[in-house]
């Protein structure tokens, strides 16, 4: 709904406004699936392994399709979970 609203507003403003505000799609590194060693790269294929990751991947693809089809300014972020041993300083 948000992508469609931005597309319609963008078309309504033409040619007065050169571009609409960018769309920020907040995703997750989980869209890559399991990575046994090393790390994922932006160009790696998507391989979500949970409903959450699949929904995030679908959101990315939908946002990207609006960029390709309608020229909307789309930015996609894929934040990474940080986990592991935590060291708490002792006084």
Q: Is the pLDDT of residue 75 over 80?
A: yes
Q: Is 70 an active-site residue?
A: no
Q: Which of 42, 52, 60, 70 is catalytic?
A: 52
Q: Is 64 exposed, middle or buried (0-12, 13-18, 19+ CB in 10 A)?
A: middle
At residue 88 the predicted structure's pLDDT band, cuts being 50, 70 and 90, is: low
Establish if 30 belongs to a structural domain. Answer: yes
Number of structural domains the chain divides into? 1
Least Cα distance to 48 among 59, 63, 38 occurs for 59
Residue 66 lies in a domain: yes
Answer whether residue 21 shows pLDDT above 90: no
Q: What is the CATH number of the domain that holds 11?
A: 3.40.50.720
Residue 59 has pLDDT above 90, yes or no: yes
Residue 87 placed within a domain: no
Q: Determine whether 30 is an active site residue.
A: yes
């Amino acid at each position: 709904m948000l992508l469609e609203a931005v597309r319609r507003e963008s078309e309504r403003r033409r040619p007065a406004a050169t571009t609409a505000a960018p769309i920020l799609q907040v995703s997750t590194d989980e869209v890559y699936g399991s990575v046994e060693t090393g790390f994922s790269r932006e160009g790696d294929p998507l391989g979500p392994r949970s409903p959450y990751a699949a929904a995030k991947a679908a959101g990315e693809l939908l946002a990207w399709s609006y960029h390709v089809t309608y020229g909307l300014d789309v930015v996609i972020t894929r934040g990474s979970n940080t986990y592991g041993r935590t060291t708490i300083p002792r006084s």
